[in-house]
Amino acid sequence: GAICISKSVADEVGDWIKKYGKQKLRPFNITWFHLGADVENSVPSQGVPDDADEVLKEIQERPSFLMVGTIEPRKGHAQTLAAFEQLWADGVDTNLVIVGKQGWMVEELIERLRQHPELGKRLFWLEGISDEYLEKIYAASTCLVAASEGEGFGLPLIEAAQHELPIIARDITVFREVAGEHAFYFSGVEPHSLENKIIEWLSLYKTGSHPRSETMTWLTWKESTNQLLSTLFKQEKSV
């Protein structure tokens, strides 16, 4: 059997097995649970860089849109950067803040980031920062952008909700599962599709009519563990 970290992933695994799996004498049981998200009950890393106060001040100067996660092709960084380049060209004064290490197959994008004329002005890339610094970045930002084209869960959405930070998320099943009505969704892979949604969101934000994340539900690690154990016991009984 398999235990997945979201119902969306469990459904995807089930669909794959139906399509490609071999016939078995006993059914392949698939179930799921949700991850915990209480950083204070884990062991958060500490430390902030010398320029932290300056960066945080810049982030608070204008609406700042935050991305959190390793830079990989599926995460949507290239589309998001291109969307913000169009916003800047159109005179929309916003920040794009990217938190995450370089991943695989993104060398061209990394070069764009390192050489970008807005780097350190309205574009910020923070690599390998501590949990302590990330907490401050969340608190200083205006909105989380979750642009990934595929995820197992989507922990940054919950971290955003813990900071009462609004969310703009790609319209994929797992983000709907995690955030429900508490996020503003976009679809499409072209820069203009995200750019238009950001402009629309900014208009809603100015009037306080954007979707709110603060009432989003999430589990502590203790609750997540109990859910996992309950799932395991149910699996054992079904065998």
pLDDT for the residue 24: 74
If you average pLDDT over residues 99-116, what whole number do you get? 98
Mind giving me the DSSP string for 6-60? SHHHHHHHHHHHHHHPPP-SS---EEE---B--GGGS-------TTHHHHHHHHH
pLDDT at 27 > cutoff 90: no
| Other CB atoms within 10 Å distance of the CB of residue 225 | 13
Pick from 137, 138, 146, 141: nearest CA to 178? 146
Residue-wise pLDDT for 196-238, tens only, equals: 999 999 999 999 999 999 999 999 999 999 999 999 887 666 5
Choose between 115 and 238: higher pLDDT: 115
Pick from 67, 76, 161: nearest CA to 123? 67
Least confident of 30-44, 117-131, 208-222: 30-44
What is the chain's mean pLDDT, rounded? 94
pLDDT at 158 > cutoff 70: yes
**Rounded distance between C-alpha atoms, residue 131 and residue 45, angstroms:** 5
Pick from 120, 115, 109, 121: nearest CA to 81? 109
Choose between 38 and 48: higher pLDDT: 48
CATH topology of domain 52-206: Rossmann fold (3.40.50)
Enter the pTM of the model. 0.92
**Rounded distance between C-alpha atoms, residue 30 and residue 23, angstroms:** 15
**Rounded distance between C-alpha atoms, residue 62 and residue 124, angstroms:** 13
Residue-wise pLDDT for 50-101, tens only, equals: 999 999 999 999 999 999 999 999 999 999 999 999 999 999 999 999 999 9
pLDDT at 43 > cutoff 80: no
Token pair in block for residue 110: 């990394």
pLDDT at 40 > cutoff 70: no
pLDDT at 1 > cutoff 90: no
**Domain locations along the chain:** 2-36+219-238, 52-206
DSSP 219: B
pLDDT at 41 > cutoff 70: no
Contact between 179 and 169 under an 8 Å Cβ cutoff? The reply is yes
Binned at pLDDT 50, 70 and 90, residue 129 comes out as very high
